[in-house]
């Protein structure tokens, strides 16, 4: 359990787990080893998130652009995800964790899709942390798929174009029943979103930390939450200080 005392725990934390390759390089190891160590960090952070009351944790496990990596690395990442679900599903289920998968499910290999569906189905009624795995995920692709759904409804005559608003598009996203992330963390010192949750990140706090993902521990995660708690979110409004000073 955590002995963290925070003024505000984010409801939803999303993480771009970056730097596995560089972590391995630094040690003269193959990139694969970085990904392997990355899975250990996944386990630790999932537990840490559940322990401190985070309700949703989204992890960017495989982007729709990651298919461009060498075939050996792609199959290694697939293998790690499969092994994670096979080995950890029972324990996550025991810990009342609900698993959700976002990303394009079309054309996924037959050795991965059934596992993802099984993980969602087994844990669907769980009520502790929701672990959202972004797999074969790209934000522009997600927005385009949501727009195509609206277009099909217009074509079917069940929706009028003039009635389309942001709320409706939001309702067709993969994340439709998941709140927007309060905090997005990217490890490894890179400072960009790389096509991750672009729609949902409209008001997210962004935090870029220098550690490579395999070095991202429970402690680093809680430090990130402390930095988040010290920030003031305004959602386009005024700061509480300005309001207290009686802004006209
Ligand atoms: C980025 O590091 C990391 C990835 C592309 C994959 C992340 C996947 C895992 C940690 C394992 C599987 C996930 C789960 C949820 C079990 P990089 O390879 O781009 O690192 P680099 O930028 O240093 O080369």
Q: Where are the domains of the chain?
A: 6-231
Dump pLDDT digits (tens) for 123-158: 999 999 999 999 999 999 999 999 999 999 999 999
How confident is the model at residue 6, as a pLDDT?
Answer: 75
Q: Does domain 6-231 have CATH number 3.40.1180.10?
A: yes
SS3 of 41, please?
helix
Mean pLDDT over 49-68 rounds to 97
pLDDT digits (tens, 9 = 90+) for 182-220: 999 999 999 999 999 999 999 999 999 999 999 999 999
Ligand 1 touching residue 59 (CB < 6 A): yes
Give the global pTM: 0.94
Whether 18 sits among the annotated catalytic residues: the reply is yes
168 band by pLDDT with thresholds 50, 70 and 90: very high
Ligand 1 within 6 A of CB of 47 = no
pLDDT at res. 241: 64
Which pLDDT score, from 0 to 100, does residue 108 have? 87
Q: What is the number of the ligand 1 atom nearest to the C-alpha of 212?
A: 23
Euclidean distance between CA atoms 160 and 143, whole angstroms: 19
- Selecting among 3, 25, 51, 66, the annotated active-site residue is 66
Ligand 1: atom nearest CA of 59 is 15
66 is catalytic: yes
194 lines ligand 1 (CB under 6 A): no
Read off the pLDDT of residues 2-45 as tens digits, 9 standing for 90 and up. 557 777 899 999 999 999 999 999 999 999 999 999 999 999 99
Atom of ligand 1 nearest to the CA of 66: 5
């Amino acid at each position: 359990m955590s002995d963290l005392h925070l003024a505000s725990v984010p409801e939803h934390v999303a993480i771009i787990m970056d730097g596995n390759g560089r972590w391995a390089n630094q040690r003269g190891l193959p990139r694969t080893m970085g990904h392997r160590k990355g899975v250990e960090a996944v386990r630790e952070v999932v537990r840490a998130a559940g322990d401190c009351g985070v309700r949703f944790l989204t992890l960017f496990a495989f982007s729709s652009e990651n298919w461009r990596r060498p075939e050996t690395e792609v199959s290694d990442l697939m293998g790690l995800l499969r092994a994670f679900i096979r080995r950890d599903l029972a324990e996550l289920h025991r810990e009342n964790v609900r698993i959700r998968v976002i990303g394009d499910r079309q054309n996924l290999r037959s050795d991965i899709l059934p596992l993802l569906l099984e993980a969602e189905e087994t844990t669907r009624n769980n009520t502790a942390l929701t672990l959202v795995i972004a797999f074969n995920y790209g934000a522009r692709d997600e927005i385009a798929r949501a727009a195509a759904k609206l277009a099909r409804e217009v074509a079917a005559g069940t929706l009028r174009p003039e009635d389309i608003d942001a709320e409706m598009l939001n309702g067709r996203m993969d994340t439709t029943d998941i709140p927007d992330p309060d905090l997005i963390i990217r490890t490894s010192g890179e400072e960009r979103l790389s096509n991750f949750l672009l729609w949902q990140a409209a008001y997210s706090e962004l935090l870029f930390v220098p550690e490579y993902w395999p070095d991202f521990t429970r402690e680093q995660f809680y430090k990130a939450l402390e930095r988040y708690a010290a920030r003031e979110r305004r959602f386009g409004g005024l700061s509480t200080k300005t309001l207290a000073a009686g802004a006209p």
